[in-house]
Structure 1
Amino acid sequence: MEGPPVGSQSIPVSENASCNFSTVSMDDAGSSSPAVAKLRKLLFRRMLIGVNDGRYFLGLFHCLDKQGNIILQDAVEYRSARHSAPPTEQRSLGLILIPAACRSSCQVDCSIDEKMSLLCLE
């Protein structure tokens, strides 16, 4: 079986930058902070998230809450029989929530220009 697509079009998003948005606020005019604007650019992008037990989830980024939990749409789970082997099994899951405490890595598919603008979400 084919493993999760990890290629030159994905960027790592630091865990601290992607889940510490408790200070995000709206100003009097109703416009959002720069962090929220950058997160909006991630909406419906393909995201690959690794969790502590070795599984990977690939899906469309749907939302991020104040606690750092991520919801993926049309998600597919990839896992391997052994932790040292590349992912060999996959199954479709649909809409899933990945808790911030379980997340070990996060990558987003985007263009080179977007990679440069998204490197720092703070």
Structure 2
Amino acid sequence: MEGPSDDQVTLGPQDSYLNSSTASADTTSSSSQHVAKLQKLLYRRMLIGVNDGRYFLGLFQCIDKQGNIILQDSVEYRSARHSSSLPMEQRCLGLILIPAACRSSCHVDCFIEEQMSLMSLGT
């Protein structure tokens, strides 16, 4: 798996899936810019929070058109109990898929300049 291709990446629910045979030149250009930005995230450390309070830290492998994310060499972090005084439990998981519907937060390990340029992905 080399990474995401044009037909594997959708940035959000407001973005439509672009088929190169039916897309106009403007939307294809815009789509390829988003794909280029996402390709810069490949193999970066990513911390993803899910709705039940767990966090997953791993290397960003790919994203599909529905927004599901695959992390490589991932570690799950969860609170041992609902008390904040206890440390987080962790376990190694390896390769995992995190559904878009379960995701509550997503952070990428990168420099502040890169974070500012990536903020435009949501628009």
Give the TM interval when normalised to the shorter protein. 0.7 to 0.9
Gap runs ≥5 in structure 1 = 1-16
Q: Distance in 1 between matches of 2:16 and 2:52?
A: 27
Quick one: which amino acid aligns to residue 106 of structure 1? C
Q: Name the structure 1 match of 2:98.
A: 98
Q: Distance in 1 between matches of 2:83 and 2:18?
A: 39
1:18 Cα deviation (Å)? 4.2
> Deviations for 1:20-43, whole angstroms, at most 9, x for unmatched residues?
454345578x97621111111110
1:67 Cα deviation (Å)? 0.6
1:118 Cα deviation (Å)? 0.5
Matched residues, number: 105
> Deviations for 1:47-66, whole angstroms, at most 9, x for unmatched residues?
00000000000000000001
1:76 Cα deviation (Å)? 0.2
Q: Distance in 2 between matches of 1:94 and 1:107?
A: 19
Q: Name the structure 1 match of 2:4.
A: none
Structure 1 or 2: larger helix share?
2
> Deviations for 1:98-119, whole angstroms, at most 9, x for unmatched residues?
0001000000000121111111
2:22 matched to 1:23? no
Large movers: runs of 4+ above 6 Å: none
- State whether residues 49 and 105 of structure 1, in contact with CA within 8 Å, keep that contact through their aligned partners in structure 2: yes
Q: Name the structure 2 match of 1:45.
A: 44
Does 1 or 2 have the higher relative contact order (CA < 8 Å, sep 6+)? 1
TM-score, with length taken from structure 1: 0.74
After superposition, the Cα gap between the structure-2 partners of 1:24 and 1:96, relative to the gap in structure 1 and judged at 3 Å, is same
Could you say what secondary structure the match of 1:42 adopts?
A: coil
Larger Rg: 2
> Percent of counterpart pairs with the same letter?
71
After superposition, the Cα gap between the structure-2 partners of 1:40 and 1:64, relative to the gap in structure 1 and judged at 3 Å, is same
Q: Name the structure 2 match of 1:115.
A: 115
After superposition, the Cα gap between the structure-2 partners of 1:116 and 1:83, relative to the gap in structure 1 and judged at 3 Å, is same
